[in-house]
Structure formats: structure tokens, C-alpha cells
Structure 1
Amino acid sequence: MLELALGSEAATRNAGYLAETSPSKAHVNVEGALVVAVLYFIFIVVGAVAVGKFIKEIDGGIFINTE
């Protein structure tokens, strides 16, 4: 019986500690949204640069081939 009492006290203490130290769901969602926004921005910029270089190569090839 004493072990159960000590076990539940420790569990309560640990639950309180976790509640105090874990971030709120709103905080996690904001961080997740920022990560998604940054990754999306990087993807768009890298994609645009790659497509721009690819189009220049195609235009250069067509220009050279049509002379």
C-alpha cells in the first residue's frame, strides 16, 4: 500500500513537471507554421532559379540550332 501511495505521488509530481515544461499546443503550431513557411519559400525560390536556368539553356539551344 505504501508503494502505491509513493508511486502515485511520484506520478503526480512528474505529471506536474511535464505540464510546466512542455510547450503549449498553440506554441507548437506557430513554430510548425513558421517551419512550413520557410521550407515553402526555399522550395519556391530554388524551383524558380532552377526553372530559370533550364529555360535559358533551352532558349540558348534553340537559338543556336536555328541559325
Structure 2
Amino acid sequence: MGTFEMLGLLFVALVVAFGVVYLVCALIIGGTSADLPHEVQGHTTRDERKMRPKDPPDPLGPKYRPGS
């Protein structure tokens, strides 16, 4: 095995090791996605849907709405 192959394998091993250490530290420090607020996860609760403003009433009424 030549010197370049050894250097390549060493580089790959270092990248993998740093990746594993990064993931372990991120899990220890940050926890899992269940700890994040619902907005970050993309879920909305029923209470948040209730608090959203409703569509304003149609000023022309339903008979002028196209398609009805």
C-alpha cells in the first residue's frame, strides 16, 4: 500500500471520527427534536389553530362568489 492510500484512509478515518464525536456532543448538549418547540418541528397544536385569525366575511355575499 502506498503513502497516498494511507493518507487517504487516515483522512477518511479522521472525518468519520469527528462526525461521530460531533453527533454524540450534539445529542448530549441539544437533546432530541422532541425538546424543541412545536413551531420548530413544523407541527401546530389545536390551540394554535384556534388563535389564528379567521378569514374575513365576504363583503359581496355568497351569491356573487364565482363558482357557487
TM-score range, shorter chain: 0.3 to 0.5
TM-score, structure 2 normalization: 0.44
Instruction: Specify which structure has the higher proportion of helix.
Output: 1
